[in-house]
Amino acid sequence: MPSALIVKVGSTMPELAARRGDYEDWIAAGLDGVPVEVCRVRDGDALPSPEVPRAVVVTGSSALVTDREPWSEATGRWLLEVLARGTPFLGICYGHQLLAHALGGVVGATPRGREIGTIEVELTDEGSRDPLFEGLGPRLVVSASHRQSVLRLPEGARRLAGNALSEHQAYAVGERAWGVQFHPEWDHEVVRAYVEARRAILAEEGLDPDALARAVRPSAHGAAILARFARLI
């Protein structure tokens, strides 16, 4: 079975990692038995030659794409070479934004502010037919936490899902590359931990942490998306 390269560009909260593992662990668990390797580019790991990976997943991160840190810009350029080879790709949160940025799209602060918690996203007609989402819609219940989003898709990208806070919750480039703003690897316990850890910040920003915590609920959609990607590999 071909392996997937998880490009790790960030980590979860240390206390959560100690209990539940980190992004790469959750993604690997969701890939339905596909073997994985991990490249920790933010920690200085060198990316492999673009023809090496059989599939690539880029994780979320607390970093900001708009800061254009050297490791991030280099990863974006590398992704262009990976996609040129038709390699299956899934960008999650930061990975979703990084690919759009690398392809000439626009990433910036989410116009209506932070999005966090259990959210709903609506599939477009094309999204409902896309192999990553077909049969799951028309609305997905997923987990999210982000302050930036893709404000303008790169030329040729196809919008697959959105909601009131983030128009571009999912998109596709070609036939084998997808970006999702939300976190399909998070379960409801993980997203609840994020809401609880950010209570003071959420209140300062005018959000209601109690309401967000009450709204957290389980959903199988995230796991289904990762399993779909595993089959597409």
- Check 96, 146, 168, 183 and give the catalytic one: 183
Burial class (CB in 10 A: 0-12, 13-18, 19+), 73: middle
Identify whether 185 is a catalytic site residue.
yes
To the query of whether residue 96 is one of the catalytic residues in this protein, the response is: no
| Residues 179, 177: Cα–Cα separation, whole Å | 7
How far CA 106 is from CA of 49, 124, 148, 182, in Å, comes to: 27, 21, 10, 18
Report how far Cα 88 is from the mean position of its chain's Cα atoms: 15
Active site residue 93: yes
Rounded to an integer, what distance in angstroms lies between the CA atom of residue 174 and that of residue 151? 20
DSSP-assigned states of every residue in 61-129: -SS-GGG--HHHHHHHHHHHHHHHTT--EEEETHHHHHHHHHTT-EEEE-TT--EEEEEEEEE-HHHHH
Cα(25)–Cα(71) distance, integer angstroms: 22
| Active-site hit among 39, 93, 101, 168 | 93
In the set 24, 101, 115, 185, the catalytic residue is 185
Q: Give me the active site residues, please.
A: 93, 183, 185
